[in-house]
Amino acid sequence: ETGVTQSPTHLIKTRGQQVTLRCSSQSGHNTVSWYQQALGQGPQFIFQYYREEENGRGNFPPRFSGLQFPNYSSELNVNALELDDSALYLCASSLSTSGRAHEQFFGPGTRLTVL
């Protein structure tokens, strides 16, 4: 059984650029959640995707957007990068049944640095 994988592991961008982060969910999982973990902080919920639709969103601006594909993998896109977007971005996959989510399994994260 393959766990949650994320790519790339590290990324350096400059202010104003756009970035795409990728996540492959664990086999059998249909739900993906994204979190931002700034240095010295706990992860903060960005949004969740279920059946290719956004299924909940945290307090992040619209320049943070996502996609979920038919194979349940997912992308996080961030436009107009700001210095404060520098963080570890975590993806978590889970199985949702009858609208109820089960345990989330986390990937190792993508470290984004904005210069």
Partner 1 sequence: AQSVTQLDSHVSVSEGTPVLLRCNYSSSYSPSLFWYVQHPNKGLQLLLKYTSAATLVKGINGFEAEFKKSETSFHLTKPSAHMSDAAEYFCVVSVTGYSTLTFGKGTMLLVSP
Which residues in this chain contact partner 1 in the complex, by CB under 8 A? 3-4, 33, 35, 40-45, 48, 56, 58, 90, 92, 94, 96, 100-109
Q: How far apart are CA 2 and CA 81, in angstroms?
A: 32
DSSP 8-state symbol, 95? -
Closest approach of Cβ 42 to partner 1, in Å? 3
DSSP 8-state symbol, 85? G
Number of neighbours of residue 4 by Cβ within 10 angstroms: 21
Closest approach of Cβ 85 to partner 1, in Å? 18
Q: How far apart are CA 35 and CA 111, in angstroms?
A: 12
Closer residue to partner 1 in complex, CB, 81/104: 104
Closer residue to partner 1 in complex, CB, 31/81: 31
